[in-house]
Amino acid sequence: MTDTTQVKAAKDVVKDLQAEYYAEANRAHEEGKLVAWVTSIAPREFLEAMDIVTIYPENHAAAIAAKKGSMEMLDIAESMGYSIDICSYARVNLGYVEAGDSAAGKVPYPDLLFCCNNICDTVTKWYEILSRRLNVPLIMIDLPFSHFDQPQEHTIDYIVGQFENAIKQLEEITGKPFNYEKFQHCLELSNQASTLWKESFEMGKNKPCPFNGLDYFNYMAQIVCSRGNEKAVYFFQLLKDEIAAKVAAGEGYIQDEQYRILWDGIPFWYNLRVMAKSLKDRKAVQVASTYTENWALTYDTTDLRSMAKAYMGNFTNREFEFRFNNMCRIIREYSCDGVILHSNRSCKNQDFAMYELARQVTKATGVPVAIVDGDQDDPRAFSEAQYETRIQALFEMIDQRREAK
């Protein structure tokens, strides 16, 4: 069982790294370093190059929910007038701005905001509100939705123009010239981390699956917060080695795994326990997730155009055909038996095509799907009994199909 201990080590390492990250951020802020609040799939390499501390309101909101503290923040935001229909990450963060503390601890307030709307349009307005409320400058990277398999040249021009403008804005805000040398180094580290991240989760294709895919929802904190510095490279090398050792030893998270599951969407952060139990009780393993794949961001480090294209590629910014083909590919490559799709009240961008996606994927692959209702951060939208019934029905459908064969 030495390998199990090793997986625990990676889990512990990521916890330590996250604790260290928040402690360092708070300390750095006190020492007068600039702090930016940043969206989750923004090109943070620009900030890393200028030695700016980055804080991710989305990650913080997820951590607050995991510590059962999201309702407190939601109540504050809603009593200010924010509608229950607005993304719960936004509501939790806007509540946090007023509260100044949370179940998941404090994060320093920002000196600047760095927003990239490749994940959704909500962030555009959310960060504009933050900018007004906190009276800090906002750097906005407006990333057009990708309607085509290959982005058009004028779209790339538009993004690169904004990258160049962001550099100017950063020079003005910091009062220092942009550090191109460090930037180049960050790009390389970012690509290294993303490659290791991808190589590690792709080992989920092995049977038995060497890891519990739910752990990736914890590991992702590092790819989000530290992509572009040495820490992420260190962590994902460690993770990759650990998983590779398990694969070499033929060890699985569940040795006699019975079902291999693809998860689509953001998890219910306040109820990861229920998700984990519903799978483990049935000897089912989450082998892949469309969500965590988003951060496998690799590009030509000598070409900003290539970087622009990479930051357009996350699935919430892509056309329906991409989502469909991508899901079918994952099901095929990871030998998935079933798909769980989270119809997440908060994330319109992910949910919008969900029913059609589910229909077409089942038709093309024959793999059954279950759509579960909930929300990433708002526990009021989640019903454990309804969730459990749908999950049970999914496994019964898989069983029925196996029996019919």
Partner 1 sequence: MFTMGIDIGSTSSKAAIMEDGSKIVASCVIPFGTGTSGPQRVIEDVLQAADMNRDNIDYIVATGYGRRSIPGADEQISEITCHARGVHFLLPSTRTIIDIGGQDVKVIRVDENGAVMNFVMNEKCAAGTGRFLEVMARVLECKVDELSMLSNQAKQAVPISSTCTVFAESEVISQLAAGNSREDVVAGIHDSVARRVASLGKRVGLVPDVVMTGGVAQNEGVVKAMRQELKTEIKTSPLPQLTGAIGAALLAYQKVQKAKQAND
Binding site for partner 1 (CB under 8 A): 343, 355, 359, 362, 368-371, 373, 380-383, 385-386, 389-390, 392-393, 396-397, 400-401, 404
Nearest Cα residue to 359 out of 346, 368, 348? 368
Compute the least distance from the CB of residue 396 to partner 1, in Å. 4
**Strand (E) or helix (H) holding 341:** strand 338-344
Q: Least separation, in Å, of the C-beta of 314 and partner 1?
A: 26
Measure the CA–CA gap between 281 and 106, rounded to whole angstroms: 36
Q: Which is nearer to partner 1, 121 or 384 (CB)?
A: 384
Helix 122-134 / helix 88-99 crossing angle, nearest 10 deg: 10
Pick between residue 1 and residue 385 the one whose CB is nearest to partner 1.
385
Measured CA to CA, the distance from residue 84 to residue 379 in angstroms comes to 12
**Contact in structure between 239 and 10 (CB atoms under 8 Å):** yes
**Cβ 395 to partner 1 shortest distance, Å:** 9
Say how many CA atoms lie within 13 Å of 319 toward its Cβ: 7
> Quick one: how many helices (H) and strands (E) in the chain?
17, 8
For residue 328, what are the contacts with CB-CB under 8 A and spacing of at least 6?
361, 364, 365
Type of residue numbered 76 = I
Least separation in angstroms between CB 60 and partner 1: 26
For residue 309, count other CB atoms closer than 10 A to its CB: 19
Instruction: Indicate the residue among 60 and 345 with the shorter CB distance to partner 1.
Output: 345
Q: Smallest gap, in angstroms, from Cβ of residue 71 to partner 1?
A: 15
Cα separation, 169 vs 140, whole angstroms: 10
CB 95 within 8 A of CB 81: no
In the complex, minimum distance from the CB of residue 313 to partner 1, in angstroms, rounded to a whole number:
29
Which of 146, 343 has the CB closer to partner 1? 343
Minimum CB separation of residue 199 from partner 1 in Å reads 35
Nearer to partner 1, 103 or 397 (CB): 397
Nearest residue (CB) to partner 1, 27 versus 359: 359
What number of residues does the chain have?
Answer: 405
Nearer to partner 1, 36 or 341 (CB): 341
